[in-house]
Amino acid sequence: MNIFQNLSIKNKIISIILFVSTLTIVIGFVIVGIRDVKRLKQEMLLNNLMNTKLIGEYTIAPLTFGDNAGAENILSKLSTIPEIVSGALYDHNGVLFASYKKNDEVFIPPLFENPDVLVKTISQFADRSLNIDNPIVYENVRYGIISIQVDTSMLIKKTGENILILAIILLGMIIFSFILANRFQKIISEPILELARLTRKISDAGDYDVHIERKTNDEIGVLYEDFNNMLNQILNREAARDLAEKNLLKAKEKAEESDQLKSAFLANMSHEIRTPMNAILGFAELISMSDSEVSSTEKENYVKLINVSGNNLLRLIDDIIDISKIEAGQIKIYKKKCYLNETLKDIQQSFIELRKINEKENIEIRLNELAQSQNLIIKTDIIRLNQIFTNLIGNALKFTEEGFIEFGYEIVNNEKLLFYIKDTGVGMDQNKKDLVFDRFTKIEDDNSRLYRGAGLGLAISKSLVELLGGNIWVDSALSAGSTFYFNIPFDELKESNRKQKAISISENYDWQNKTILVVEDEPANIIYIEEVLKATKAKVLRASNGKEAVDIYIKNSNNIDIIIMDIKMPVMNGFEATRQIKNLNKNIPIISQSAYAMQGDIDKGLNAGMTDYLIKPIKPKMLLSILNKHLNNLAPND
């Protein structure tokens, strides 16, 4: 391996080509050689087996009448077949009746062992010979046995000649491959060597104001383009460095650029967090200082600054959560309004452009009539539906060389749509069509071996269809194309005349006859909620964990109008407390208030029976608005 690593790129390319071509040729020659040897053996066996059976039929009369001379005369005809060494005729008891020997060195057994065991012709290739034992049977009467020994020297000779010819051809093809490899390796090595020469020139001279001409559109051409871009970036950085040095000399206080770039991500993150925290803590301490001379107007401004900084910090946390959700890789289905026909037309247009890139402009990409004429609006996950069509049409385009690809949908009933993608491609065997949806499964056959990939696209499509609540299947036949079907449930959107009840946004709430149970393990949060609710004159009950909340509700079930429930608490969490309280009274409104902002946590709370949710930090107006909505039994917005 070290020797190979030290070779020049030219010799590496030649070596790889020679190795691959030689290995391929050798494997091919071995397969051909084995096939030829089997064929020669088969031909020799069939010819001698036919002769054996034919002579055996001629010896029925001599065996019947005990005519040894006649049998000897028949066997003597074997001398006309050069490769036959001997022939022996045994009677039905296995006793030698007549024989033929090509020379006196051949030994013929006087008895045939276990003649009754031989019920059909037996042939066996031994060392340099072929032995054939054939029972002589006519009209279910057994007359005897004929045994032939054939010399296989000619077979061995022909095999050797074939091996020699194949070896000569192999040597010639290796030489020819070397000549071609040596000539065509320049296509790859020359551009790389040219780039290496330019790199050495730049390294020696330190002149980055040079460029290399891009001559191809392949990966090497891209490498040239990237190399030129890198040189431009270096030049730009040099110009920026010169400017920075000038500014540094003027100001004499700027840090070097390299130090500013160290640990850039952590430094920026620390800055983004500490800046709003500095304002929040600083102004809060200024306001709370007993000897502070801050005026009421200044305090009001400081509170506004604290609020602004808090919102900035909250947005930063939301951004971090969004990044976490993306990196988690969890697929979620989010249904919304989808203009189906417009979506399908956009997909059609994108594949019309894509077929140009794949040099398959002869293939027609068409929508069915329903998809062109209707204006269907459904509620589904547009991104996932688009992804399914993209996978399936892309798969069809890959396996279709001529003809068309048609896709569209049919309205099966008021609950499901049937989508299909039909192509005139290579198709597949009926007994293999269910395997295409398995992950990493490849259909290995002569028609598709050149096209098959890793086998993930259809598996992904199947998973997405099932997440949407549907099924997927395929009808196909070899050389007759394929049609993929999938159905999904849908909600057809119609204009609604239902009017929603308005939610009051008044800041003056009078809930003096209402009792609110606040379940929170953090004392500061309880104090905050009580302060918010103080102006409403509502009665507030406290609970520091879920179990205590359940106990308080059992004692005051007739008086409690609404519950504000934290999620993460000791002894019993908010989910379990909600389930137990809902078992006692399914109509009691329970508002979740939690720092868990992930959609999965919100859904978990709603599934546990919570009526609504608030995400910390909770703003006073939002808290009062949510409570007002449920205390007055107002319909929520859709």
**pLDDT score of 312:** 59
SS3 86: strand
**pLDDT score of 2:** 63
Residue tagged 């049998």 (tokens): 71
**pLDDT score of 503:** 43
Helix (H) or strand (E) holding 630: helix 620-631
In which residue ranges of the chain is pLDDT below 70?
1-6, 186, 189, 203-210, 213, 215, 218-219, 252-276, 290-293, 308, 311-331, 357, 438-457, 492-507, 595-603, 634-638
Query: pLDDT of 496-522, one tens digit each?
Result: 333 334 444 455 788 988 999 999 988
Cα–Cα distance for residue pair 91/559, rounded to 1 Å: 116
**pLDDT score of 421:** 95
**pLDDT score of 551:** 93
Cα–Cα distance for residue pair 139/147, rounded to 1 Å: 21
Cα–Cα distance for residue pair 495/444, rounded to 1 Å: 52
Cα Rg of the chain (Å, integer): 45
Residue tagged 């995400």 (tokens): 615
Cα–Cα distance for residue pair 370/411, rounded to 1 Å: 9
The strands making up 515-519's β-sheet, listed across from edge to edge, are 539-543, 515-519, 562-566, 590-594, 612-615
Work out whether strand 515-519 and strand 562-566 pair parallel, antiparallel, or are unpaired. parallel
Cα–Cα distance for residue pair 559/562, rounded to 1 Å: 9
Torsion of CA 428, 431, 435, 437, to 10 degrees: 60
**pLDDT score of 107:** 86
Buried b (16+ CB within 10 A) or exposed e, 339-371: ebbebbeebbeebeeebeeeebeebebbbeeeb
**Under 8 Å between Cβ of 379 and 338:** yes
Other CB atoms closer than 10 Å to residue 411's CB: what's the count? 14
DSSP letters spanning 296-354: HHHHHHHHHHHHHHHHHHHHHHHHHHHHHHHHHT------EEEEHHHHHHHHHHHHHHH
Provide the CA 25 distance to its chain's centre, in angstroms.
34
Query: pLDDT of 28-42, one tens digit each?
Result: 888 888 888 888 888
Bridge partners of 489, per DSSP, are 416
Measured over the CA atoms of residue 222, residue 228, residue 232 and residue 235, the dihedral's sign is positive
SS3 277: helix
**pLDDT score of 35:** 87
Q: Cα separations (Å) of 133 from 118, 147, 404, 490, 626?
A: 8, 4, 62, 75, 100
**Under 8 Å between Cβ of 182 and 13:** no
SS3 578: helix
Query: What domains are there in the chain, each with its CATH number?
Result: 2-163 (3.30.450.20), 331-489 (3.30.565.10), 515-631 (3.40.50.2300)
